[in-house]
Amino acid sequence: MALPIYMDRVIAPHRSLSPQGAAVLLGVMMAFNALVAIFLLVLGAPPVLPFLGLDVLALWLALRASDRAARRVERVQVTAEAVTVSREDEKGARTVWTSPTAFTRVGVDHPGEHETRVRLMIHRRRLTLARSLGPDERMSFAGDLQEAIRAARNERWS
């Protein structure tokens, strides 16, 4: 018999720029730099041209880093037996944190501030969750997580 799942939430960073949008942005930047390069050649300032390529390279590297960071995923599951958090980084490496539901607490540091942190705590172990969410979303997630743990404990001990 499968255990009931009280929470199964996947948290992934939000990126407002799609891969197609990134390609368009890079293309527009390159076209603009080409126009500036032609203008500078007409003025007789060719030493400036390599710097036009450096800003395109910097933008490309930033977009690539942002795309890689968007692949980080965090999954939180709460059952009557355990609270399980599995994280997958941009390279596909997976880390799993498990603790018994009966002894796991949810803590919120700096509620209502930008640095709001949601933590799972058991004895001296702590795990910070939901870093990719905004402060209001973190507070909502913390409340949902506390409620899921409370419901799982009630099911286990009733």
Close Cβ partners of 22 (under 8 Å, ≥ 6 residues apart): 63, 67
**pLDDT in the model for residue 62:** 92
Using the predicted structure, report yes or no on whether residue 35 has a pLDDT greater than 90: yes
Helix (H, G, I), strand (E, B) or coil at 120: strand
Residue 94 phi, psi (nearest 5): -120, 135
- Largest distance between two CA atoms of the chain: 83
Q: What is the CATH topology of the domain spanning 5-12+72-157?
A: PH-domain like (2.30.29)
Q: Residue 141 CB: number of other CB atoms within 10 A?
A: 20
DSSP conformation class of 83? E
Selected residue with higher pLDDT from 113 and 76: 76
Give 68 or 8, the one with higher predicted confidence: 8
**Cβ burial, residue 139 (10 Å; 0-12/13-18/19+):** middle
Identify the burial level of 120 via C-beta atoms within 10 angstroms of its C-beta, where 0-12 means exposed, 13-18 middle and 19 or more buried: buried
Predicted confidence (pLDDT) per residue in 68-99, tens digit: 888 889 999 999 889 999 998 888 788 899 99
